């Protein structure tokens, strides 16, 4: 099929590389590398290497771009990691419609940061949903899905890698279905969930939370995403790697208790709560420093993280 591809970053480049092996990608629409301060030129570089015409846009809202798309007469648009809401005028141009690949099992976790939020919520599975795009984000009819398990100690980076392996296969299956006339299954008009973008304030650790919740926050915000953080000696301290303790380290939330179990134990949760067992910090980093072992950062025990 003739495909107009919209995408950005590593995810977008991964999809583009898979599509060109089976279909004709007539044009690639992407953002400039520094879009939103992200600095990801992956799609731009791959399109150049493949010799595919490239168009840059922040919102795909330019009427001239729509006219160009009409002249190309694509059978379908495929979108992967396009960072803004695509205008309906563009989405209606392909004869078979426009498809998006969303990294969640819609209608749950529509919106942003689904990998992070799913881990932070303690979910045991995630997936990809290929759906038709309409005027609202992540609400169009579902063509097909892929399931991916989330292990109890999987970080966001691990889950992202698992999902990355599924993007191309699930999308190629969806294109086969669409070409054969499948129009998708409508999502329910009620229920489901929509999550907002994750900012720095959304990743701060509250040491009054129990061990499971704090641990899920840390692994849900692992590299390459915004890390969970706390404050120490008046500065922000990123918690890069941590794990639940084998033995409980309890007391006042945020208290740096002792070196233990290969790291540094910090108390968390409310006293008397069975899940108030503390957390073992293994790797931390200041805002302007490299990751270091927690036992090397904390030169003395005591004091509090806030």
Q: Is 186 in the same domain as 238?
A: no
Q: Is 168 in the same domain as 244?
A: no
Which structural domain range is residue 178 located in?
2-194
What number of helices (H) and strands (E) belong to the chain? 8, 15
Residue 306 maps to a domain:
no
Q: Is 19 in the same domain as 158?
A: yes
| Burial (CB count <10 Å: 0-12, 13-18, 19+), residue 188 | exposed
Domain CATH number, residue 235: 3.10.25.10
The span from the CA of 294 to the CA of 297, in Å, is 5
Mean pLDDT of 132-136: 91
Helix, strand, or coil here: 167? helix
Last residue of some domain: 194, 226, 261? 194
Q: Is 218 in the same domain as 105?
A: no
On the question of pLDDT at 36 being above 80, the answer is no
Q: Is 135 in the same domain as 163?
A: yes
CB 237 within 8 A of CB 285: yes
Of residues 193, 40, 11, the one with CA closest to residue 120: 193
Domain CATH number, residue 24: 3.40.50.170
Q: Is 190 in the same domain as 213?
A: no
Mean pLDDT of 3-11: 95
Q: Is 95 in the same domain as 148?
A: yes
- Tokens 């503390």 locate to 278
The span from the CA of 76 to the CA of 157, in Å, is 31
Note the pLDDT of residue 263: 98
On the question of pLDDT at 222 being above 90, the answer is yes
Q: Is 281 in the same domain as 141?
A: no
Q: Is 178 in the same domain as 211?
A: no
Mean pLDDT of 43-53: 95
Last residue of some domain: 159, 194, 229? 194
Q: Is 148 in the same domain as 238?
A: no
Instruction: Tell me the two tokens of residue 72.
Output: 């190309």
In total, how many domains does the chain have? 2
* pLDDT tens, position by position, 204-214: 999 999 999 99
Note the pLDDT of residue 39: 86
* pLDDT tens, position by position, 228-270: 999 999 999 999 999 999 999 999 999 999 999 999 999 999 9
Cβ atoms within 10 Å of 247's Cβ, excluding its own: 11
The span from the CA of 226 to the CA of 3, in Å, is 33
* pLDDT tens, position by position, 154-191: 999 999 999 999 999 999 999 999 999 999 999 998 88
Q: Is 64 in the same domain as 78?
A: yes
CB 254 within 8 A of CB 306: yes
Mean pLDDT of the chain: 95
């Amino acid at each position: 099929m003739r495909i107009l591809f919209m995408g950005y970053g590593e995810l977008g480049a991964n999809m583009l590389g898979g599509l060109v092996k089976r279909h004709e990608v007539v044009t690639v629409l992407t953002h400039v590398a520094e879009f939103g301060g992200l600095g990801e030129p992956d799609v731009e570089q791959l399109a150049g290497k493949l010799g595919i015409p490239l168009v840059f846009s922040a919102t795909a809202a330019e009427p001239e771009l729509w006219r160009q798309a009409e002249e190309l007469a694509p059978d379908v648009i495929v979108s992967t990691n396009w960072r803004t809401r695509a205008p309906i005028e563009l989405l209606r141009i392909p004869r078979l419609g426009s498809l998006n690949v969303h990294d969640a099992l819609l209608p749950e976790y529509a919106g942003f940061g689904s990998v992070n939020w799913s881990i932070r919520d303690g979910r045991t599975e995630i997936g990809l949903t290929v759906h038709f795009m309409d005027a609202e984000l992540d609400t169009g009819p579902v063509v097909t899905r892929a399931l991916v398990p989330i292990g109890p100690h999987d970080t966001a980076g691990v889950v992202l890698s698992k999902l990355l392996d599924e993007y191309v296969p699930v999308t190629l299956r969806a294109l086969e279905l669409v070409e054969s006339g499948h129009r998708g299954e409508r999502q329910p008009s009620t229920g489901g969930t929509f999550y907002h973008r994750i900012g720095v304030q959304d990743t701060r650790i509250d040491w009054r939370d129990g061990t499971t919740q704090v641990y899920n926050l840390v692994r849900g915000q692992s590299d390459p995403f915004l890390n969970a953080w706390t404050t120490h000696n008046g500065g922000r301290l990123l918690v890069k790697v941590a794990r639940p303790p084998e033995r409980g380290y309890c007391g006042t939330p945020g208290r740096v208790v002792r070196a233990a179990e290969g790291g540094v134990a910090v108390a968390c949760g409310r006293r008397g709560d069975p899940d108030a067992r503390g957390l073992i910090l293994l790797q931390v980093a200041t805002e302007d420093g490299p990751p270091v072992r927690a036992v090397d950062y904390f030169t003395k025990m005591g004091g509090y993280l806030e």
